[in-house]
Amino acid sequence: MPVLHLTKRFFGSLVPLGPSAENDAWARAQLLDGEKALWNRMSRQDRRHSADVARRVVGLLGDDADRPVIAAALLHDVGKIDSGLGTMQRVAATLSAKVAGRDTAELWVRSSGVTRRIGLYLKHPEIGGDLLEMAGSDPITFTWAREHHLPADRWTIDPAIANALAAADDD
């Protein structure tokens, strides 16, 4: 993930505000009931970020941004809810992954305390994909949650959609 994106996310996460009332209502109108329940569990800052990403996706794709694609943008980070980490702990988790490698998350998940929570945070794509699949989401929605941190050559959804989702998240 680019440093500029991470820097913007860090400073944005320091402001404990959710999406505007208009963006929140718009987001909820795009989601299935099971997805809304997951949206409600996301932090205010994550909901604000995701609503912004979804709006950018609509701007990039226009009419090709159908409900499952918008839901993918809104819920791509939903797997972070299981970690319960705050902003500074998320920074520590990201740095830990850079030093120890993301593969160590498998071991950390089997641990306890903050180490386990860091492992869960690092595995948020897989966890989010599973949560969305169990919630009855469209395959595009849960697949993007699983794949959004993978290199582009490993994405399995339509490249035009995946590129728009990735570009909207990097902004």
What is the per-residue pLDDT across 145-161, written as a single tens digit (0 to 9) for each? 999 999 999 999 999 99
Centre a 10 Å sphere on the Cβ of residue 136 and count the other Cβ atoms it contains.
12
Question: Can you tell me the distance from the alpha carbon of 157 to that of 150, in angstroms, rounded to the nearest whole number?
Answer: 12
Question: Can you tell me the distance from the alpha carbon of 100 to that of 131, in angstroms, rounded to the nearest whole number?
Answer: 26
Long-range contacts, stretch 141-149, CB < 8 angstroms, 24+ apart: 141/35, 141/68, 141/69, 141/71, 141/72, 141/75, 143/72, 144/72, 144/73, 144/76, 145/72, 145/75, 145/76, 145/77, 145/78, 145/79, 148/76, 149/1, 149/125
Structure tokens at 8: 């913007």
| pLDDT range class, residue 5, cuts 50, 70, 90 | low
Query: pTM to 2 decimals?
Result: 0.86
For the chain, the average pLDDT equals 90
Over residues 126-141, the mean pLDDT reads 98
Looking at residue 12, its pLDDT comes to 57
Looking at residue 7, its pLDDT comes to 58
Looking at residue 150, its pLDDT comes to 95
| pLDDT range class, residue 111, cuts 50, 70, 90 | confident
The better pLDDT of the pair 111, 21 is held by 21
pLDDT at 28 over 70: yes
Looking at residue 171, its pLDDT comes to 63
| pLDDT range class, residue 103, cuts 50, 70, 90 | confident
